[in-house]
Amino acid sequence: MKQVEVLDLNLLSEKEGNCTYDFESIHSQKGRILAFRKKGSISGNHWHEGKSTTKNPEEMLIISGRLKLEWTDEPEGIYQHSKLIEAPALIRINPGIKHRVEALEDLCFLEFNSLAEHAADTLYPNHQEK
């Protein structure tokens, strides 16, 4: 048995300086997503049905940076609520709540779900492509 193991993370996507990684934990059958977002970027604009336990509620651990979280309970409606959040913080978002994140500073966060779980439980407004 190895005393120490250091693993590289899997780069899922990189666009305009924004990076998303995933990795598997030996302590859970579910994966994790480590995400980096550049200041000024907007992510999300979607909601989850809650079919996956990892999206009911969704949890995001904000590791570094500041963000503006916007949300509404109307999937096709405008955002009704917003909150400024500074790391460290744990965000929980219940199913059916459309949400998006604007990075007010360079941002790093951890999602407690795999990419497959995210894709299987995520819906987007009719006017937005995935």
Mean predicted confidence (pLDDT) in 20-28: 72
Higher pLDDT residue, 31 or 102?
102
Is residue 98 within 8 Å of 74, Cβ to Cβ? Answer: yes
Q: What is the pLDDT of residue 9?
A: 79
Least confident of 31-45, 77-91, 98-112, 115-129: 115-129
Q: What is the chain's percent helix, strand, coil content, to nearest 5? A: 5, 50, 45
21, pLDDT greater than 90 = no
Average pLDDT over residues 20-32: 73
Cα separation of 55 and 48, whole Å?
Answer: 6
Res 4 pLDDT > 70: no
The residue with tokens 């970027």 is: 41
Q: Which fold has domain 40-130?
A: Jelly Rolls (2.60.120)
Q: What DSSP string describes 87-123?
A: SSEEEEE-TT-EEEEEESS-EEEEESS-HHHHHHTEE
What is the token pair recorded at 119? 């894709």
d(CA 74, CA 32): 28
Task: Please tell me the pTM assigned to this model.
Answer: 0.81
Q: Encoding tokens for residue 2?
A: 């190895």
Indicate if the pLDDT at residue 130 is higher than 60.
no
Q: Do 103 and 55 touch, CB atoms closer than 8 A?
A: no
